[in-house]
């Protein structure tokens, strides 16, 4: 994803001199070509992320389209106040790019784990949240954001992510992409979990379960129509993300389900618990500890589908006027 991003950004900068890249003293193996080709569109502010956000806001308000770039939590949490007050409040064309989402930098510890970023960024007024599922989606997202769409958060993996889409895609901002069509269950995945969702669907098919897989590459604004469509076509829906189950894609989908009164569908969030992990290891090792390998995901989906539907055991109860009057008399 990182390579697809910088390649697309370089192409955008060649076409539009307003496009700028601002970094916090890292990524030089990746951004070197951009810096050499467009020295007037590149700026290294040093290890000072708060300044990075503030400078980016100033440049944006002067007519530029600015991408800030750093790893994991550094370009967002370290400078959250500046993003909120300088960028979002002024509706500035600044795209905060975080490379190394989830446990990409797993072995470096909790300071480098990006596991709450979606929840935090999607709560900011005016902020768009984009989390591509593979390099093709990353390219399309970068091209769109480089046009200037106001404040945005682009959440990327690190490097070496597989291509999920084998044919050209119709990527649209705020619109989910249907990767697989099934009738038994739906998996709504974002970011690095898209490939695992597809692999889990293949495993489930061997068990006679056909899964729809949606790439929810844009979490804010969420594709509400796509969510409602799968709710109408399958009996159970899962969200899948390399992020805390609180406030991320799962939270966003749960809000849609609750607000639209779609109680007939069964729903479950698959993601990371709200903890600072005590495990030590790389991304694959940590994901395995939290049951986010394709095999574990398929196993948990299969298990959940065979659990009793608790909603069928809930009986509605309506007060009649006589019963309500009786209760009022007892209380009095």
Element (H, E) at 332: none
Q: Which two tokens stand for residue 294?
A: 């394709």
Question: Nearest to residue 180, comparing CAs of 212, 216, 135?
Answer: 212
- Topology of domain 2-156, per CATH? Rossmann fold (3.40.50)
Instruction: Report the pLDDT value the prediction gives residue 308, as an integer from 0 to 100.
Output: 79
Instruction: Report the pLDDT value the prediction gives residue 261, as an integer from 0 to 100.
Output: 78
Q: Which two tokens stand for residue 175?
A: 């619109």
Element (H, E) at 127: none
Q: Which two tokens stand for residue 12?
A: 């955008």
Instruction: Report the pLDDT value the prediction gives residue 139, as an integer from 0 to 100.
Output: 97
Q: Is residue 266 packed enough to be buried (19+ CB in 10 Å), middle (13-18) or exposed (0-12)?
A: middle
Instruction: Report the pLDDT value the prediction gives residue 160, as an integer from 0 to 100.
Output: 83
Distance, CA of 250 to CA of 245 (rounded, Å): 6
Distance, CA of 79 to CA of 48 (rounded, Å): 9
Count of C-beta atoms within a 10 Å radius of residue 241: 31
Instruction: Report the pLDDT value the prediction gives residue 264, as an integer from 0 to 100.
Output: 77
Residue found by looking up tokens 């590459």 in the block: 217
Instruction: Report the pLDDT value the prediction gives residue 263, as an integer from 0 to 100.
Output: 64
Instruction: Report the pLDDT value the prediction gives residue 319, as an integer from 0 to 100.
Output: 42
Residue found by looking up tokens 């895609």 in the block: 169
Instruction: Report the pLDDT value the prediction gives residue 322, as an integer from 0 to 100.
Output: 52
Instruction: Report the pLDDT value the prediction gives residue 115, as an integer from 0 to 100.
Output: 97
Question: Nearest to residue 200, comparing CAs of 180, 216, 218, 230?
Answer: 180
Q: How do beta strands 211-215 and 185-189 pair? A: parallel
Q: Domain boundaries in the chain? A: 2-156, 177-306
Distance, CA of 95 to CA of 21 (rounded, Å): 10
Instruction: Report the pLDDT value the prediction gives residue 166, as an integer from 0 to 100.
Output: 87
CATH number of 177-306: 3.40.50.920
One pLDDT digit (tens) per residue for the chain, 332 residues: 999 999 999 999 999 999 999 999 987 788 999 999 999 999 999 999 999 999 999 999 999 999 999 999 999 999 999 999 999 999 999 999 999 999 999 999 999 999 999 999 999 999 999 999 999 999 999 999 999 999 999 999 988 889 999 899 999 999 999 999 999 999 999 999 999 999 999 999 999 999 999 999 999 999 999 999 999 999 999 999 999 999 999 999 999 999 987 667 899 999 999 999 999 999 999 999 999 999 999 999 999 998 877 655 544 444 445 544 444 444 44
């Amino acid at each position: 994803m990182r390579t697809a991003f910088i390649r697309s950004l370089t192409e955008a900068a060649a076409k539009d001199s307003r496009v700028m890249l601002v970094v916090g003293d890292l990524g030089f193996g990746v951004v070197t070509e951009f810096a050499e080709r467009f020295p007037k569109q590149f700026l290294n502010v040093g290890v000072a992320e708060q300044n990075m956000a503030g400078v980016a806001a100033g440049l944006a308000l002067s007519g530029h389209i600015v991408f800030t770039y750093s790893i994991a939590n550094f370009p967002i949490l370290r400078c959250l106040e500046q993003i909120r007050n300088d960028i979002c409040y002024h509706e500035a064309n600044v795209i905060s790019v975080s490379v190394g989402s989830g446990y990409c930098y797993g072995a470096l510890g909790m300071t480098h784990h990006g596991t709450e970023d979606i929840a935090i960024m999607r709560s900011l007024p005016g902020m768009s949240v984009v989390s591509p599922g593979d390099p093709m989606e990353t390219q399309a997202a970068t091209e769109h954001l480089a046009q200037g769409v106001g404040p945005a958060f682009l959440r990327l993996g690190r490097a070496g992510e597989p291509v999920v889409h084998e044919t050209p895609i119709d990527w649209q901002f705020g619109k989910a992409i249907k990767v697989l069509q099934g009738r038994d269950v739906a998996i709504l995945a974002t970011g690095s979990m898209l490939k695992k969702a597809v692999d889990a669907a293949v495993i489930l098919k061997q068990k006679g379960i056909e899964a729809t897989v949606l790439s929810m590459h844009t979490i804010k604004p969420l594709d509400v129509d796509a969510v409602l469509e799968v709710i109408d076509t399958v009996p159970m829906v899962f969200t899948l993300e390399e992020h805390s189950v609180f406030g991320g894609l799962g939270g966003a989908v749960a809000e849609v389900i609750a607000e639209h009164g779609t109680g007939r569908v069964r729903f479950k969030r698959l993601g990371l618990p709200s903890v600072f992990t005590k495990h030590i290891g790389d991304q694959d090792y940590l994901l395995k500890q939290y049951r986010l390998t394709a095999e574990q995901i398929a196993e948990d989906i299969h298990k959940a589908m065979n659990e009793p539907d608790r909603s069928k055991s809930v009986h509605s109860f309506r007060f009649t006027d006589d019963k309500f009057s009786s209760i009022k008399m007892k209380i009095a």
